[in-house]
Amino acid sequence: FETSIQPYEDCCTVFTPKHPKTRPQLKFVELAESKFDFEPLLDEAVENTTMEVKRMELY
């Protein structure tokens, strides 16, 4: 219990902007996204993706 009531900064509060945009204009979002290279991140995500199939024995 003592540990659970201690103050703690989780990543949500650390990386959340003080004044987030809640209704951004699409043209500005598209402009910001056009300056970012997503391809290497997507390639890395696909390369590091695994799938596990687990079957349960019923009888």
Cα–Cα distance between 26 and 47 in angstroms, integer?
A: 31
In whole angstroms, what is the distance from residue 41 CA to residue 37 CA?
A: 8
Structure token digits, residue 58: 């019923």
Question: Helix, strand or coil for residue 41?
Answer: helix
pLDDT in tens, the chain (59 residues): 787 777 776 767 777 788 888 899 999 999 999 999 999 999 999 999 999 999 988 87
Residue 30 within any structural domain of the chain? yes
Residues 35 and 49: their CA atoms lie apart, in Å, by: 26
pLDDT for position 40: 96
* C-alpha to C-alpha distance for 45 and 39, rounded to whole angstroms: 10
pLDDT at site 11: 65
9 is a domain residue: no
At 17 the pLDDT is: 80
What's the domain range around 40?
20-47
| 2 domain residue, yes or no | no
Q: Is residue 56 included in any domain, yes or no?
A: no
Helix (H) or strand (E) holding 58: none
Number of domains within the chain: 1
Q: Residue 28 falls within a domain, yes or no?
A: yes
Give domain status of residue 5, yes or no: no
